[in-house]
Amino acid sequence: MSPLLLADLNQSALLAGGVLTVVFFLGFAIFASRYVKVGPNAALIVSGRKRTMQTAQGPKPVGFRIVKGGATFVWPVFEEAQHLSLEMMTIDVKTPEVYTSTGVPVMVDGVAQVKVKSDEASIATAAEQFLSKTRAEIMEVALQTLEGHLRAIVGTLTVEDIYKNREKFAQEVQGVAATDLLSMGLEIISFTLRDIRDNQGYLEALGKPRIAQVRRDAVIAQSQADSEATQKSALANQAGAEVKLAADAKTQGGKRPRVRPPEVQDGPAGEGAGDPRHGRREGAADRPPGQGNRPAGKGA
């Protein structure tokens, strides 16, 4: 082969190699851009091709497929992918004045936790309802549904029923609203009654007898406690006094009585009287000297 022909072949090979390289990287870039990943908190709705989905009513032909917590390749031109959030939505439910069954106007506030249900049929239903809507618009739809059921249930109860059985009231609202929300692909996780109030003072009047009773019971209990404390203190003082008297009596009973000598006992006036150590008889000191014990009648 001539050198000119070899040079042409080399140039053609290099050109073909360059084209293949470009095609490879271009194909990889297209594949990477169309390979869509989705987290566990969202669902990917890929529409554009027909498929069959199992529903509660049986197989149903649809024009989309659902991917949860994974990844899929979205064919260019033929398919389109959109995300649908499965995250929790916290909704504050507040009602204006609503008349109860007894004609008392009250205002009820609650908080609800709502989300798109995670099963495939519910995701498909929610996609039909909310795929083009924002999160705020979905929350507004759920809020209107909850407020309507809340007002309806308040109208069937008395103030006392709502006030005393808050948990039961909240469960009733949740149960009634769940049916309507489920028809939109949503589920209510919880509903909590946060506040009940009125502008007529009705709730305040309900609490006054109970407050008065509690205060009265507290005064009575304090009086009884003071009385018991006084009685116990008196008993303790009496017991202490008895113990002290018993101790004093025991101490005095153990001592021997002190006996004084006879001269001390007789005193100064009778000093020496009856003492055997004195040899003189009584009255001897009154006789004159020299007149001893002479026999009577001599020299008289």
All structural domains of the chain with their residue ranges: 24-85, 89-198
* Res. 205: pLDDT tops 80: no
Token pair for 238? 């009496």
Per DSSP, the residues of 121-170 read: HHHHHHHHHHTTS-HHHHHHHHHHHHHHHHHHHHTTS-HHHHHH-HHHHH
Measured CA to CA, the distance from residue 179 to residue 117 in angstroms comes to 13
Q: Is the pLDDT of residue 47 over 50?
A: yes
Query: Phi, psi at residue 13, to the nearest 5°?
Result: -65, -40
The residues, any chain, with a CB within 8 Å of residue 160's CB and separated by 6 or more, are: 206
Q: Is the pTM of this model over 0.75?
A: no
Going by pLDDT thresholds of 50, 70 and 90, the confidence category of residue 73 is confident
Its sign, for the CA torsion 73, 75, 76, 80, is: negative
Q: Which of 204, 158, 157, 203 is closest to 176 using CA atoms?
A: 157
State the pLDDT at residue 115. 94
With contact defined as beta carbons under 8 Å apart, do 95 and 111 qualify?
no
Judge contact between 43 and 123, C-beta under 8 A: yes
Strand 186-197 and strand 105-116: pairing?
Answer: antiparallel
Higher pLDDT, 223 or 92: 92
Nearest CA-CA partner of 108 in 121, 93, 123: 93
pLDDT 10s digits, 248-258: 777 876 554 45
Structure tokens at 188: 């209510």
Report the alpha-carbon angle 183-189-191, nearest 5: 105
pLDDT above 90 covers what percent of the chain? Answer: 20
Alpha carbons 73 and 44: distance in angstroms, whole number: 11
Alpha-carbon gap, residue 262 to 275, rounded angstroms: 9
CATH architecture assigned to 89-198: 2-Layer Sandwich (3.30)
pLDDT band at residue 296 under the 50/70/90 scheme: very low
